Structure 1
Amino acid sequence: MILALIMAAGGCQQANKKPLPKTAKKPVSLSSEVVKYKSEPTFSIYRTATGQKENIKLEEYLKGVVAAEVGPKYPLEALKAQAIVARTMTLALIEYENGTRGKRGTDMSDSHTEFQEYDEKKITPLISKAVEQTRGQVLTYNGKFVYALFHSASKNKTASIEEGFPNLKNKAGYLKPVPTNGLKYAPAKYRNWTVKIPSYEVKQIMGSQAGSLDDIKISKRGPSGRATSISAGQASISAVDLRAKIGPDRLYSTALTSVKSAGNNIVFTGSGWGHGVGMEQWGANAMAKQGKNAKQIVMHYFPSAAWTTLYK
């Protein structure tokens, strides 16, 4: 850019000279925590059913993650996409969030509430093939592992990192909404839902300043249209915090249409399933059925990322 400005300032003296060839972009160097994985790593895993600690190779672990997350009914390219984002997310969680070392004394856990969902009993030959064909492939951004988040279903757009994980906005600001259409292929219960939560429970969460909750409403929305703030009386709470405290298995998403008081309940209406950030699994399924390959699927949901092979 400086060279271009100098040339422009030279006026007609440069007019007869051939333009200089464009300089190729210098590739971003990979961070030390990325390049250290020159071969397949072995990690420790906590087994919640038995309380035992075991060692497992990453690629074998990923088969159980893909099996638990999406199962064998997805097309091969969608399974491969899931393997790539799960591999990346596993390494990001271990390197940047310390895995489950603080809680379990292991790198990871087989519990979806603690790490990622995992079930080796559901592994099929097709799932194994998907993992094997993407061996060592991950996503990076500025040389670091991407927070390659994934969720079940979104309506029209995925969520920004601020909408899904506000605490990660300084680490993963590159995760922005992208168009998606998987919701129309997802089970009907994902498309439109109504959830009733007892008013006293919401009052306990929001505190006494929330008053009677008669005026509870969505007070702010994010770039994808998801609720980001819920208010009542003199109180307000982030939609992410409210969902976490109610329970993500009870309040399915922050893609809320309305929140209102009705009798002894607070009624939430919405659509979608999950936090909404990153790859939409039902969208990946649809793209694979439309003929897209794993790389096209993954790069659609993570357009700022670089494709990196750690080991073969």
Structure 2
Amino acid sequence: MQGEMKPEWPKNAYAAQAIVARTFTLELLSRGGTRDLHGADICDNHVHAQAYNPDNITQTIKDAVRMTRGEVMIYRNRYVKGWFSASCGGRTTNAKTGLAYKGEEPAYIKSVSCKESRITPPEVKKWSADIDSETVLQALKKLGKPLPNLSGAQIAKRVDNRAAVLRLSGGGKKVEIDGADFRVAVGPEKMRSIWLTQFEVKDGRLITSGTGFGHGVGLCQWGANELARENSSPEEIVKHYFPKVTIKRLWR
């Protein structure tokens, strides 16, 4: 939690995150964890598992973990995929759109409205990026959709305000790619989300801007912050973002 959220947030926001992160970890472990990648059950790489920053651990965070000890999300007697991101932009999305998830869309993942915009700071809420054509072309090559050069870019399909499918062109060719896959390939710190408000090529460079930070699937951390400030319980916060799950305490 201390690697994923701000240290001054209310306890119930941390507690909700604890339930989701605990479930994320157990579900990942049930599939072998990160042993094949790192030789360990779990790692602190946010791409493969979850970030971890022990320097940010506070007493409030410790209390939040204790108060939800053993609590996990269950759907049909299985751990769910406890996805979360920093800022959903005001509405979450499904896994196939936000993550380009290749499996069957989980029944417990739903697009829900979010109050995060009430408190999310402008530097988190809005972003823009100017990306050189070589970075874009290398990303497309990595994804198996190469172009000889870059001359055009547009949004081919939107889902939940997100650019679910992107169309890029160059050298007389056009390719279409899942927005979430392209975001990761080009750099998720550059292209912070696929809730895009601008996506075009100017002077050989990709100019893009958008709303939110992260994939927007599951729990929104800034939204959890706002719900906690409204005195929602950790379980109520979790159920807002995962309305179909059951929260069970498996140990004390």
Q: Flag whether TM exceeds 0.5 (same fold).
A: yes
Evaluate the alpha carbon distance shift between residue 168 and residue 131 of structure 1 in structure 2; reply closer, same or farther with a 3 A threshold.
farther
Give the TM-score of the pair, scaled to structure 1. Answer: 0.74
1:161-207: CA deviation from partner (whole Å, max 9, x where unpaired): 11122335416242121000213412211222210110232133335
Q: Which residue of 2 aligns with 1:105?
A: 39
CA distance in 2: counterparts of 1:80 and 1:111, whole angstroms: 22
1:44-65: CA deviation from partner (whole Å, max 9, x where unpaired): xxxxxxxxxxxxxxxxxxxxxx
**What's the CA shift for 1:72?**
2.8
Evaluate the alpha carbon distance shift between residue 171 and residue 264 of structure 1 in structure 2; reply closer, same or farther with a 3 A threshold.
closer
**What's the CA shift for 1:247?**
1.2
Give the TM-score of the pair, scaled to structure 2. Answer: 0.91
Evaluate the alpha carbon distance shift between residue 168 and residue 296 of structure 1 in structure 2; reply closer, same or farther with a 3 A threshold.
farther
Are the counterparts in 1 of residues 12 and 233 from structure 2 also a CA contact under 8 Å? yes
Q: Which residue of 2 aligns with 1:247?
A: 187
1:199-256: CA deviation from partner (whole Å, max 9, x where unpaired): 232133335864653331010112x120111112321111111111111111111111
Q: Which residue of 1 aligns with 2:175?
A: 235
Evaluate the alpha carbon distance shift between residue 171 and residue 95 of structure 1 in structure 2; reply closer, same or farther with a 3 A threshold.
farther
Q: Which residue of 2 aligns with 1:123?
A: 57
Q: 1:1-312 residue pairs with structure 2 within 5 A? A: 66-96=1-31, 98-170=32-104, 172-206=106-140, 210=147, 212-222=149-159, 224-233=160-169, 234-312=174-252
Are the counterparts in 1 of residues 99 and 181 from structure 2 also a CA contact under 8 Å? no
CA distance in 2: counterparts of 1:88 and 1:295, whole angstroms: 13
More helix by share: 1
CA distance in 2: counterparts of 1:301 and 1:232, whole angstroms: 33
CA distance in 2: counterparts of 1:71 and 1:225, whole angstroms: 26
After superposition, the CA RMSD in angstroms is: 1.7
For structure 1, list consecutive stretches of 5 or more residues without a partner in the other structure. 1-65
Q: Which residue of 2 aligns with 1:61?
A: none
Are the counterparts in 2 of residues 160 and 277 from structure 1 also a CA contact under 8 Å? yes
Evaluate the alpha carbon distance shift between residue 110 and residue 205 of structure 1 in structure 2; reply closer, same or farther with a 3 A threshold.
closer
CA distance in 1: counterparts of 2:103 and 2:222, whole angstroms: 25
Q: Secondary structure at the match of 2:9?
A: coil
CA distance in 2: counterparts of 1:120 and 1:155, whole angstroms: 28
- Aligned-pair identity (%): 33
Are the counterparts in 2 of residues 214 and 260 from structure 1 also a CA contact under 8 Å? no
Are the counterparts in 2 of residues 184 and 191 from structure 1 also a CA contact under 8 Å? no
CA distance in 2: counterparts of 1:166 and 1:206, whole angstroms: 15
Higher relative contact order (CA 8 A, sep 6+): 2
CA distance in 2: counterparts of 1:250 and 1:75, whole angstroms: 29
Pick the structure with greater CA Rg.
Answer: 1
CA distance in 1: counterparts of 2:10 and 2:3, whole angstroms: 15
